[in-house]
Amino acid sequence: MSKFITNHDVTDALKEVIFFAKQNNIVDLNMIDNIEIKGNDIKISVIFPKLDDPSVGIVYNSIVKTIKDKLGEDVNVEVLPISEKDKGLGPLSGVKNIIAVIAGKGGVGKSTVAANLAIALSKEGKNVGILDADIMGPSVPIMFGVEGQQPGVIERQGKPVMVPLENHGVKILSLGFFVQPDQALMWRGSMINNAFNQLMKDSEWGNLDYLVIDMPPGTGDIQLTLAQSYNIRGTVLVTTPQKIATADVRRAAMMYRQDKLTIPLLGLVENMSYFTPDDQPDKKYYIFGKGATDELAGELDIPVLGRIPIGEKIVESGDGGTPIILNGNEKITLTFKEIALNVLKEIDKL
Ligand SMILES: Nc1ncnc2c1ncn2[C@@H]1O[C@H](COP(=O)(O)OP(=O)(O)OP(=O)(O)O)[C@@H](O)[C@H]1O
Ligand SMILES: [Mg+2]
């Protein structure tokens, strides 16, 4: 082709390349990041939702064929696929760090730690969200005092998306918004995954420094899928001091550490560590035993991020919708602050 090729010629040709997943051409879908023309050499960078998808190859071949058909067989076409994430686009691109709070078994204080950690991080001046992924015991709405409320809905690129509720300076979404407590047992794994994906991706999280996820306890398929599907910055493991609890946490920790899933374990939080009676403020009674958490921390080579004592105020405040960290007079407030600072420190080290 003798004519001088312009950016306009290339764009016109690209309008004939369809991205079938979104049923439109790649120009109108704003997938063209850059076009570089040097004589007969054309370099086009194209943005895809994700790169490990068959559609990338199809679009790639279609671009080469269309450009050659339109502008001549003698042009050299190079296509450079880039992901939305690399470009800072996509639904979760505003979320800098995802922290998963996990436990080996239920009832050890995972939601209590997740809720107080989220608020503590927000008190440190961070933009924070919390996502309650525990369908069997979605307690985050109760702890944040938004039980019974529903998230808002807005439209994003023609698609309805959820707007998180907000309280205590934290954005909140919960699987509990979708399911009645007595229906939870009837939900199959695929349904839970779908609902979880919606909470993550079809939601307007905006810019967050930290998204704290209250994960379901244990090491089942769901935990594995969630961990594999998202770029989790690190996990916080919650345990109680009993040997039997730390055995479960060890299993959970190993799941997050297995070969293909290198999610960093930021550290252990020991909950219900000891009891201090009001009239003996200097005494610590280790009701559930002592030592098992340190042993596990040593074995996993991770730090103990903090130890939370047993306290009825933790129950009252959680049930009452204002987690204990919001009560500045409590010594436990400082403990949670320390845990949050330790989490930040461990993330900095990664
Ligand atoms: N340090 C503590 N002292 C006293 N009570 C506590 C403490 N930590 C948590 N609790 C209480 O124990 C109960 C269970 O805590 P929480 O809901 O945080 O656990 P969980 O691991 O999320 O449980 P689940 O597996 O049901 O989701 C709650 O009533 C909570 O208020
Ligand atoms: Mg819970």
Under 8 Å CB-to-CB from 282, ≥6 apart: which residues?
276
Q: How far is the CA of 106 from the centre of ligand 2 (A)?
A: 7
- Please check whether residue 109 is in contact with residue 245, taking contact to mean a CB–CB distance below 8 angstroms: no
Q: How far is the CA of 318 from the centre of ligand 1 (A)?
A: 9
CATH node for 95-349: 3.40.50.300
Backbone φ and ψ of 77, nearest 5°: -110, 130
In terms of Cβ atoms closer than 10 Å to its own Cβ (0-12, 13-18, 19+), residue 147 is middle
pLDDT at 344: 97
* pTM, entire model: 0.80
Categorize the per-residue pLDDT at 231 as very low, low, confident or very high, splitting at 50, 70 and 90: confident
CB-side neighbour CA atoms (13 Å) of 71: 28
CATH node for 7-83: 3.30.300.130
C-alpha distances (whole Å) from 294 to each of 19, 105, 179, 299, 301 are: 54, 18, 38, 8, 10
pLDDT at 260: 65
What is the three-class DSSP state of 252? helix
Q: Where are the beta strands (DSSP E) in 64-169?
A: 76-83, 95-103, 128-132, 152-156, 159-163, 165-167
Taking the C-alpha atoms of 200, 202, 208 and 211 in order, what is their torsion angle to the nearest 10 degrees? -10
Q: Supply the residue whose CA is at minimum distance from atom 5 of ligand 1.
A: 315
User: How do residues 68-102 score in pLDDT, each as one tens digit?
Assistant: 999 999 999 999 999 887 777 677 878 999 999 99
- Lowest-confidence segment of 171-175, 241-245, 281-285 by average pLDDT: 241-245
pLDDT at 259: 64
Q: Which residues line ligand 1 (CB under 6 A)?
A: 103, 106-112, 134, 137, 139, 217, 271-272, 308, 310-311, 314-315, 318
Q: Which ligand is nearest to the CA of 174?
A: 2
Q: Supply the residue whose CA is at minimum distance from atom 3 of ligand 1.
A: 310
Hey, where are the domains in the chain?
7-83, 95-349
Residue to mutate, 101, 112, 134, ligand 1, most ligand atoms under 8 Å from C-beta: 112
Q: Which atom of ligand 1 is nearest to the CA of 310?
A: 3
Q: Which atom of ligand 1 is nearest to the CA of 238?
A: 21
Q: Supply the residue whose CA is at minimum distance from atom 31 of ligand 1.
A: 315
- Please check whether residue 79 is in contact with residue 68, taking contact to mean a CB–CB distance below 8 angstroms: no
Q: Which atom of ligand 1 is nearest to the CA of 107?
A: 23
What 80-84 contacts at long range (C-beta under 8 Å, 24+ apart), as own/partner pairs, is 80/43, 80/44, 80/45, 80/46, 81/45, 81/46, 81/48, 81/51, 81/56, 82/33, 82/45, 82/46, 82/47, 82/48, 82/51, 83/47, 83/48, 83/49, 83/50, 83/51, 84/47, 84/48, 84/49, 84/50
User: How do residues 271-280 score in pLDDT, each as one tens digit?
Assistant: 999 999 989 9
Average pLDDT over residues 265-269: 97
Per-range mean pLDDT, top range of 180-184, 195-199, 262-266, 314-318:
314-318
Per-range mean pLDDT, top range of 132-136, 157-161, 197-201, 300-304:
300-304
User: How do residues 294-328 score in pLDDT, each as one tens digit?
Assistant: 999 999 999 999 999 999 899 999 999 999 999 87
